[in-house]
Structure 1
């Protein structure tokens, strides 16, 4: 004889069974569920692209890789990433004095080449600070490192040093158009630093 099961009793029995903690522990966590759904979505997208792309799934992956490469190349050439990878390095020739750089800066300004004038005048500052022992003599420093190190030794000039470093960075690496006012500010800082020999000589 078949056993008749009351529907309400069956629902109650099922609810009691599913309320067992063992079932909850066996379920995947919320993050796991999210990752699984993302994985399924990406799989569906790649599968759909693979159906229409030349070469199937492999072709789709190659196209995706090429798109990423193109994006990176564009960012390297025109985006903020380009600036960070160039590192904004300031190089100075130890065979040239700070006065050599000043003369080069003034000559560039006289012929209207303000970009070169800003670059050479900032290098004059770096060479001056090198010779005074404010900066340690090494190559490959970035403008930020120069401003930070010199600012620690000359705290009353820290803001001016940061401003000059930013201007150098913007003109030389950022492609910003230089101005006479900007050059004059860097030159004024250079002149002021020359007059601070006693203060800079003290460790």
Structure 2
């Protein structure tokens, strides 16, 4: 029976050549496995530290979105509707208030370039108004008001004067227009330093004030600096 003999012979040969098994404890085996897996050859295709950080971040975003959608009526669709509504509200506020800029300040001066007459400022203001550039129109009309008061000697020509200072000083010889002068100064500061957007009614108020001031007679007093004698 050659098949049986061959099988028995193979078993004997294998048994003769086989080495006895090695019995390794749990802790040495764990340490040996750790050393083996620390071989850089096993980690050539591992993601980078940045990639692992991004993966964790997106996992966090996904879990946050899942939590929010679970707590929102309508699930994910309701969350999308709310997000769209919030974005629309922000866009509407941005359009209405203009680009956010630094807070309103009264520290800026009225004039920032070469000296010009009140008539020149009025002409420039009207040109801006005709082009519907209301911010520039308001600025130039306020400059026309201040320059006109200087030309009438109701204000002393002084570089570096702010709109608020001009309004306060002009309100003394022209007390009947003091409130309108302060409002005009605020409009100038809003569009010049506060990032606000002027409109046609704002410009018309300054234009009417300018015309009324031209026809107004000052209240003369020795206590008014720069007043006409």
Q: 1:94 to 1:198 in 2, by over 3 A?
A: farther
Match of 1:118 in 2: 138
Provide runs of 4+ in structure 1 moved above 3 Å.
77-80, 92-95, 197-203
> Looking at both structures, which has the greater relative contact order when contacts are Cα pairs under 8 Å and sequence separation is at least 6?
2
Q: Map Cα deviations across residues 144-174 of structure 1 (whole Å, 9 max, x no partner).
A: 1111100111111100100100111111111
Deviations 1:170-199 (A, max 9, x none): 111111110100000000000011112576
Unaligned runs of 5+ in 1: 1-76
Q: Distance in 2 between matches of 1:145 and 1:179?
A: 24
Aligned residues, how many? 124
Q: Which residue of 1 aligns with 2:116?
A: 96
Question: Of residues 185, 189, 204 in structure 2, which corresponds to 1:184?
Answer: 204
SS of 1:89's partner is coil
- After superposition, the Cα gap between the structure-2 partners of 1:78 and 1:175, relative to the gap in structure 1 and judged at 3 Å, is closer
For residues 170 and 117 of structure 2, what CA distance do their matches in structure 1 show? 18
Structure-2-length-normalised TM-score: 0.50
* C-alpha distance in 2 between matches for 1:91 and 1:147: 14
Segment of structure 1 superposing worse, 152-161 or 189-198: 189-198
Cross-structure match for 1:129: 149
- TM-score, structure 1 as length reference: 0.56
**Structure 2: how far apart are the matches of 1:93 and 1:130?**
16
Deviations 1:41-87 (A, max 9, x none): xxxxxxxxxxxxxxxxxxxxxxxxxxxxxxxxxxxx9453xx44x71
Aligned CA-pair RMSD: 2.2
Q: Is the 8 A contact 1:150 1:158 kept in 2?
A: yes
Q: Is the CA contact (8 Å cut-off) linking 1:132 and 1:197 kept in structure 2?
A: no
Residues 174, 218 of structure 2: 8 Å contact kept: no
**Structure 2 match to 1:142:** 162
Looking at CA atoms only, which structure, 1 or 2, has the larger radius of gyration?
Answer: 2
Kept after mapping to 2: 8 A contact 1:160/1:189 = yes
**In 1: Cα distance, 2:143 partner to 2:160 partner:** 13
Question: Secondary structure of the residue that 1:90 maps to in structure 2?
Answer: coil
**Unmatched 5+ residue regions in structure 2?**
1-99, 221-226
Distance 1:94 1:136, change over 3 A: farther
Q: SS at the partner of 1:152? A: coil
Larger helix share, 1 or 2: 1
Measured in 2, the distance between the counterparts of 1:95 and 1:123 equals 10
Cα 1:126/1:78, change in 2 over 3 Å: same
